[in-house]
Structures are given as C-alpha cells and as structure tokens.
Structure 1
Amino acid sequence: MSLPRMRGTRLRQQLAELRGPDVPAKALDARALAALAANPGCRRRAILDGAGVDKAALASALGSPSAFGQSQFALTRGNAFEARVKADGGAELLRLVHTALDPGAEPPHRAAVPDLSAIGPEGRTARTALALREATAARGTWTLLDHPLLALEVAGSPAFLEPDAVVVHPDGKWTVVEIKSFPMLDGSADAAKVGAAARQAAVYVLALEDVARRLGAEPDGHAPDDAPAARVRHRVLLVCPKDFSNHATASAVDVRKQRAVTARQLTRLTRIQDIADTLPEGTCFAPGLPAADLTDAVESVPATYAPECLAACELAFHCRQHARGAGAVTTLGRPVRAELGALTTVDAVLSAARGESGDPDDPAVAALRRAARLRAEALGQEAPGAEVMAACR
C-alpha cells in the first residue's frame, strides 16, 4: 500500500473514532464549508466538521442547544418551490438561465437531463464528472444536471457537495444554480441572505473548477495552458419566489469576490490530520457520552469564537459561554480583538488602561490609557494611575 493511501486510511480511522462507534458521519455541505472558510482559525470546527460530527446533537448534549438552522416549515416550502422550478425537465429553470445569463444562445426548447444516480458518494462524483464531460463535448445543446455531487478537498480531507443544479450551456460553459425560498421583492432580495447564498455558490464554483481541471488534465496529470477551469462561469443564477407567490424569478450574481476569499481562507485551514494528531488519546465526540466527558473532549481543541459564529455554527452558544468565562476579548468582536493586539483578556485590557501593566510604547496600551484619562476627565474623576497617564500625554 502506498504511503498516501496508508495516511488516508489512518485518518479515516481516526475520524471514525472521534465520531464514536457506529455513529454515521454528517456530510459537510457548502453552507457549513462557507462558514468554516469564514473562520479558518477555528480548529474546533475544522476537526468536528472533518470528522462528520453532528454539531447540533453535540451542542444539545453539552447543555447549550443551538437555535441555528432552518425550520421544518422553511425546508418544506423550499423543497416544494425547487420541485416546481425543476418540473417538466427543468423547462422553467433553463428559461431563467437563458434569459438572465445567456440570451444570445439558442433558446432551450429541449435539454438533456442525465441520470446521475450511482452507488456511494465516490460513484456519484464520478458519474457527475462523466456527465459534465459528455455535456461539454455535445456543443450546441443545453444540459441540466439535477443535484450533481462534487468533491472538494478541505484541509486534506474530501468534502462532498451537492448544488441544487448545474447547467451546461451550448458553448460548453458551466453555471451553478442556487434555488432559495426567500422572496425577491420588486427585483431585489434581502442583502444578508443574498450574501450567504453567494458564499455558498462560491464553494460550488471552486468544486466545479476542480472538476474542470481534472477533466482537462493531460495523461501525466498536468493541466494544459488554456486553463480548463475557465469554463466555469463566475456569475451564478439565484432563483427565488417572485414577491410572495410561487412563481420563480432569477437574478445573476457575480461571485468572483466570494470565490477568491473562500479559496484563500480554505488554504489557511490547518490539515485535519495535524489537528487529530494533537488530540489526547481516546478523545470522542459521540453525543451519547456524559456531558463532563464531552466538555473535556471539546475543550481539548482550541476554538476561535466571534459573535459572527452565532449565525453560522451550532456550537456557538457553548463557545461563547466558555469565552465569556475566560474573559476573552473575542466576545467583543473581531474588530475589537484586532485593535487590542497582544491584550487577549478583558482583565488585561482593564489593567493596561489603569496603568498597572502593559508596555507604554504599545499603541494599544497607549490608546487605552488615553481613553481612560479622557473618561475620567469627562466624569470629573481622578484618572487611574495618574502618574502613568501624565507620562502618556
């Protein structure tokens, strides 16, 4: 057995042990991957997502249940809307793609909808790649891939991603289609929701580019100079209900910025193998374990908490509670944390402001002492550490 294959087998065994015996892996979807890329310094999320741990179940077992996620009503409504858009061989969906992204092409009167079913995720990704190859070669026709499966390597471990649809244009270009249940009112939608959809679509674009590179590679594994990944369009189609009806409308969204940011952040992720090797022997995140054991296991992996995690991670309430208990300045937000430099706790910040500790030449310490002096003057109080403050004037 080759060394890379041995390492891959060892990593899979380690991740299975972290999940717990007979605990199935939870697939890492594009939404979770986009959230992980937004916080690449969080080793805790990286290892839990890499191991396929159900973070919602883990948070409940820890006593900090999460309200993160879609309601059952929203899921049902979204599935019904998606089925409506894809009815009749995706005629309405292809019409929207043609109108919004490729009006100069031949209208999609008839389109191919290949069968993408196969055994296991590896089989489905191979079948998707084959369908993309065949559709690209068949120039002059439209092809709709309904729920294709793509693979993307994340921190040394494969993640399988399932976009709502991928359309192959008559010129051989590929477009990602995101179907959402939030409405477009008068041609525009909620900016925060559109941004989240764009970040999710950017992950699919990266995965498609990887497929394009592999399909365009030479026999020796090297891609030719004409960059086959360029066949992936960076303008995706966002399909939503029009106003509050069930009728579909669509808008083209340029995800070049989100794609570049996500790609850069994913390269910063520590390899999952490296994180797993640092964990104490016997570490397990199975939700059925006692809360005390789970707490020890979770706390053995460092986290990088920020208030933005509350909208993106199921463990956010648990991490916030422990960050507050430790007095970490990360609870105040990333901008504040960046301004404070080496001061990582609230106690250290207050001590520096009072002139009890800290290097006076440190810009953060000097700014805190000036702020403390100005506050004291405004309140008519004696400035804390007046002799130190005087030196900072």
Structure 2
Amino acid sequence: MPPPRKRETALRHRLAELRGPDVPAKALDARALAALAANPGCERRAILDGAGVNKTTLASALGAPSAFGQSQFALTRGNAFEARVKSDGGAELLRLVHEKLDRGAEPPAGAQVPDLTAIGPEGRTARTALALREATAAGAWALFDHPMLALDVAGSPAFLEPDAVVVHPDGSWTVVEIKSFPMLDGSADPAKVGAAARQAAVYVLALEEVAARLDPAPRVRHHVLLVCPKDFSNLPAASAVDIRKQRAVTARQLTRLTRLEDIADALPEGTCFSPDLPAADLTAAVESVPAAYAPECLSACELAFHCRDRSRTAGAVTSLGRSVRAELGGLTTVEDVLAAARGEAGDPDDPAVAALRRAAELRAEALGTAGSDSSGALACR
C-alpha cells in the first residue's frame, strides 16, 4: 500500500481529473458539509463535493437549474452585519460571549486579535493552530476572525472557515456563528437556528481535532454563540446554543461516508464532470455515481431537481420521503408497492406487505368497491 502522503497526492490528482481540466475547485464549506453528513448514503454528492465541483453550474449544464442558495442581497446584508459585530476589535462580540457564556471570567478588555494571514489553506490552517496554542497559553481573551480549520471528510481534507472562534481566559474555545436572520423578542426561527447549529457542529468537530494535538488539550465548548440582528434593527443580539446533539449526529454520519478514493475507483474510465462537456456525456457521468435522493435534498443540494426527476422516472419510493422509504422495507419502487397492495407480489408475512394489503382492503371497503383494483392503495397512506 502506498504511503499516506502518496495516496493523498494521487487522490487529489484524481479529483482534479474528475472536476475537469482548468476548472477551479469550489471549497467545501460547513453548510455543504452539514448537508452531506445529513445524507451520508449519497455517493454522488460526496464525490462532487470532494472534487470541488460547482454543483450550481453543473445543475444548469444538466438543464435542471436550482434556486438553492442565498441571494446576493442576503449575502450583502449578512456581510454588513458581520462587519458591524466585529468592529472595534470585536468589542461587542466579546461582550456578548462574556455575557452569555462566561460571566464568571474577567471582562474582555483589550483582547488579542491574532493575525492569521498565510499562503494557501494549508498555511492558514497551520497559522491558526499555532495562534490558538499561543493564545491558550497566554490565559487571556482572544478573538480569531475567520480562522481556517481542517477536517477529514471521507479521506480528503476539507478546509473550513468559521465566522469567529473565541479563546477564554481559562483556555477553553468557543465557536461563534453570525447570521443575518432576526432574533425577535429573544428567539429566532427554530428551523434556521437548527441549520446554524448543524453548521456550528462541523466547526466544533474541526476545532476538536486542533485541540487534540495540544498537551494538555483545551476544552472546546459545546455551547456556541449565535449572533443575529435584534428584532428588525442592525443591532446584535446573541443566544447560547447547545450543539451536543448535532455534534454527535454529524460525527456519526461523517464516519458512514464512503471514502472518496473508493467512489472514484468505481467510476468508469475517463469520467469527468466538467460543465463544458456535451449534455449527454455530462448526464452519463453524473448518472454513473449512485445518488440517494429524498425531498429534503430540495433545501440542501443544488442537484436536487435533476435527482428528483431521475427518481420519479425510475418510480423510486425515496421520492416520497425517507420516512415512507423506511416503512416500506424491501419495496423500492412504486410499482412494487402497488403490486404488493393488490396481492400480486410480495411476501404476505412481510409487515410492510401486510399493512399495504390491509390498507387496500380498507380503502375498497370505504369506497364500496370490494374486490376492485387497489392501485390507489398508496394514496391512502
């Protein structure tokens, strides 16, 4: 077996070939990584994200553009709010960290703001790790503005950039998430808070890898600080969010991902996802990688419309949702389900088959059509 460094170099070269000649890599951010961890069975997303393929461009080239993602207005508003929160050396941000997470510590006056400038993501990652070690040893408040962290994802490093990391006087570390959605009367939209918590959990996992290399290892706090605009103003409000559950789920899901080199080795020779390829060739390349579509993908993946069309064409029950798919056991297509409900196929001792046949009987009885076609059985679920 080749040494780890050689394997990593070979994998990087292979992923560049999959991305296409002269096609720049799109960085895998925490938002995308959290979405990938939520659907670990999707090899298609894993290899596309691992190769740095721009899925927005790819979806357009496939003829199935997606509106997924933030608008330019939202990005501009978010950047302006983040700049305000971090102004004056991050004084207001540190005040919120002290108030919400560490009231017993001394007030954060004159905190350090280390310079994290370096060449390339690897250089920035190393610089961040060194600065974290120095700040922890100093035993004082420190604010890290957009540090660079690395996390192994399916055998390939992903470089992540949280909004901020704060070092406390006791040497512990806190992840800070700054979002542009409002916090009304002290609370924000639960769905958006949940998405932010899953994203922060990715940063916490990456930060824990940095901490594990230090002796003694600093404590990475599992309460992150979520900072949002207060009501409808541009003033910051903050809340401590416990992400222990999200961290545990994300860590478990990441371990279930198929290694990128295994996915790449299973692809046909010459596979390439360059958007400059003819539509037929590009479609064949994408379809050569197994996908695990579910309706939840519509809010998390740029290729969702393409995968949904293919899933519906194949009659896959996954297009009805993961909960339905889980209940149907070995019945993987809508045609299989209808045949089982009509009594034409399936093992009568299978609980899913028995439930479908009972549902068909009840439907026929309710409609007064006992013995008639039960093709509508699935609709009565």
TM, length-normalised to structure 1: 0.94
* Structure 1 residue 383 displacement after superposition: 2.6
Alignment-derived partner of residue 166 in structure 1: 165
One-letter code of the match for 2:199? Q
| Counterpart mapping for 1:199-214 below 5 A | 199-214=198-213
Partner of residue 292 from structure 1, selected from 280, 287, 291: 280
* Structure 1 residue 167 displacement after superposition: 0.2
Between the aligned partners of 2:94 and 2:26, the Cα distance in structure 1 is 32
Q: Note if contact 1:355-1:385 (Cα within 8 Å) is conserved in structure 2.
A: no
* Structure 1 residue 382 displacement after superposition: 2.3
Q: 1:125-160 CA deviation, whole Å, 9 max, x = no partner?
A: 000000100000001x11000000000000000000
Q: Does the alignment pair 1:58 with 2:58?
A: yes
TM, length-normalised to structure 2: 0.97
Between the aligned partners of 2:117 and 2:74, the Cα distance in structure 1 is 27
Between the aligned partners of 2:212 and 2:99, the Cα distance in structure 1 is 28
Between the aligned partners of 1:2 and 1:99, the Cα distance in structure 2 is 51
* Structure 1 residue 186 displacement after superposition: 0.2
Between the aligned partners of 2:271 and 2:332, the Cα distance in structure 1 is 28
One-letter code of the match for 2:329? G
2:306 counterpart SS class: helix
* Percent identity (aligned): 83
Alignment-derived partner of residue 177 in structure 1: 176
Q: Does the alignment pair 1:375 with 2:375?
A: no
* Structure 1 residue 215 displacement after superposition: 2.2
Alignment-derived partner of residue 223 in structure 1: none
Between the aligned partners of 1:34 and 1:264, the Cα distance in structure 2 is 12
* Structure 1 residue 384 displacement after superposition: 4.7
One-letter code of the match for 2:135? A
Between the aligned partners of 1:6 and 1:130, the Cα distance in structure 2 is 26
Alignment-derived partner of residue 6 in structure 1: 6
Q: Note if contact 1:154-1:266 (Cα within 8 Å) is conserved in structure 2.
A: yes
Between the aligned partners of 2:241 and 2:170, the Cα distance in structure 1 is 20
Alignment-derived partner of residue 254 in structure 1: 242
Aligned residues: 374
Between the aligned partners of 1:383 and 1:247, the Cα distance in structure 2 is 66
Q: 5+ residue gaps in structure 1?
A: 217-225, 387-393
Between the aligned partners of 2:195 and 2:85, the Cα distance in structure 1 is 21
| Counterpart mapping for 1:1-393 below 5 A | 3-139=3-139, 141-216=140-215, 228=217, 231-384=219-372
Alignment-derived partner of residue 378 in structure 2: none
Q: 5+ residue gaps in structure 2?
A: 375-381
2:213 counterpart SS class: helix
2:370 counterpart SS class: coil
Between the aligned partners of 2:355 and 2:367, the Cα distance in structure 1 is 18
* Structure 1 residue 291 displacement after superposition: 1.0
One-letter code of the match for 1:117? T
One-letter code of the match for 2:21? P
Between the aligned partners of 2:55 and 2:188, the Cα distance in structure 1 is 30
1:239 counterpart SS class: strand
One-letter code of the match for 1:250? A
Q: 1:149-206 CA deviation, whole Å, 9 max, x = no partner?
A: 0000000000000000000000000000000000000000000000000000000000
* Structure 1 residue 385 displacement after superposition: 7.9
